[in-house]
Amino acid sequence: MLRRGGEAQEIRNEGRYAKVERTQMSARRIKVKSSSGAYEAVCDAGALARLDEEIRKLGRFTSVHVVSSPKVWRSVGKTVLRGMRRRKPDEVHLFDDRESKKAMASVEQISRLLALGKADRGSLILAVGGGVVGDVVGFAAASYLRGVALVQIPTTLVSQTDSSVGGKTGVNLPEGKNLVGAFYPARLVIVDPLVLKTLSKREFRGGLAEVIKYGIIADAELFAYLEKNMARLLRREEEALNHVIQRSIEIKALVVSKDERESGLREILNYGHTFGHALESETRYRRYQHGEAVAWGMKAAALLGHKIGITKAGDVSRIVALIERLGPLPDWPRISDASLIAAMRTDKKARGNKLRFVLSKRIGKAATYDNVPLDAVKHALHFAPRLSVQRGSARG
């Protein structure tokens, strides 16, 4: 018999997220609660032009250190520096932000760069980049001198809508993804959708997978909006893009404000991630970008939900159809089900070596389930690759 992991892990009010009042969005400043104090996610086209002003509101700092990657800094460095006209950074530190470098060695590298740059406990670190930059630099900020002030400046759609908000930082181990890290909220998150113009088509489409996730787990109206406006989003039309970014952040902020340390409700943000993380780790982080792995993972989660009687066939069809509209994904790897299941056992949601999955009862509602039959998991792994109607490796 299936058992949900506690009623607190389910959104009991079915329309809750769809009906969230947007009063906090009036100034495009979304409040996020945390145990260390509330902070804001500023979401506005052109927000980076006001970087000086936003940093000044945080108080005085002995030094300001930017940490980014060479690729990101070439794309947005001038924009960031223009926004810091009155307070130029004391140092700009760069590191390799490939997923394969999301490791303890990078945390040590960044920490040493900060030490060489004379960063102290009164310093401020600006993490400028995508999800890897945010996670690794965030963990370094949490660890260096036992914690220095951090501002997240996400530059990819995945990081803007998901990873920069909520304070989760960390790195991968050979044994699994994000197994070492800390909950360390930024003092401020600055989301400027204009920087997304520099993203490749592949990176952008992968980011939209995380937006689809929010519709599946928390907001049926957002999901319907995506179905209606996907073509506009793929063209990166500003109005549509701003809407889904702000709505995604609002949902994330509400969830993490209620469950900062992922003891219950916050687990729903991992829809598709148990499968997706296994795909990433078993391909050594070389085949998929994170959003692509999550896209495959959401297909598998929808299938699994249907197999055990949680997700209706019509919702599975809608989920798969919307994901397909993102474009072709890198092919499913030739890896045994046993290997993928073994990788899934390292998932952070696992308890006592038992797999636990976030599944959607219906679009706009999700919960964590345990005691899922292994045969059902194997069924999902077997049929998920066959759900794709657009095959071939993604490029762009």
Catalytic-labelled residue, pool 93, 187, 213, 290? 290
Active-site hit among 177, 266, 348, 361: 266
Active site residue 175: no
Q: Is 306 a catalytic site residue?
A: no
CA 368, CA 301: separation in Å to the nearest integer?
Answer: 11
Residue found by looking up tokens 């009155």 in the block: 86
SS3 sequence of the chain = CCEECCHHHCCCCCCCCCCCCCHHHCCCEEEECCCCCCEEEEECCCHHHHHHHHHHHHCCCCCEEEEECHHHHHHHHHHHHHHCCCCCCCEEEECCCCHHHCCHHHHHHHHHHHHHCCCCCCCEEEEEECHHHHHHHHHHHHHHHHCCEEEEEECCHHHHHHHCCCCEEEEEECCEEEEEEEECCCCEEEECHHHHHHCCHHHHHHHHHHHHHHHHHHCHHHHHHHHHHHHHHHCCCHHHHHHHHHHHHHHHHHHHHHCCCCCCHHHHHHCCHHHHHHHHHHCCCCCCCHHHHHHHHHHHHHHHHHHCCCCCHHHHHHHHHHHHCCCCCCCCCCCCHHHHHHHHCCCCCCECCECEEEEEEECCEEEEEECCCHHHHHHHHHHHHHHCCCCCCCCC
Catalytic residue among 65, 93, 102, 168: 168
334 is known as an active-site residue: no
Q: Known catalytic residue: 266?
A: yes
Token output for 127: 């993490």
Select which of 203, 250, 262, 292 is catalytic.
Answer: 262
Catalytic residue among 177, 213, 247, 277: 277
Q: Is 273 a residue of the active site? A: yes
**Among 270, 349, 356, 365, which one carries the catalytic annotation?**
270
Cβ–Cβ under 8 Å, residues 301 and 359: yes
Catalytic residue among 202, 273, 356, 361: 273
Catalytic position from the list 3, 57, 146, 334? 146
Out of 93, 187, 213, 252, the active site residue is 252
Write down the catalytic residue from 210, 250, 260, 280: 210
Nearest CA-CA partner of 165 in 77, 43, 46: 43
**Could you tell me how many residues make up the chain?**
396
Q: Are 45 and 68 in contact (CB under 8 A)?
A: no
Contacts of 107 (CB under 8 A, 6+ apart): 136, 139, 140, 143, 171
What residues act catalytically?
A: 146, 168, 210, 252, 262, 266, 270, 273, 277, 290
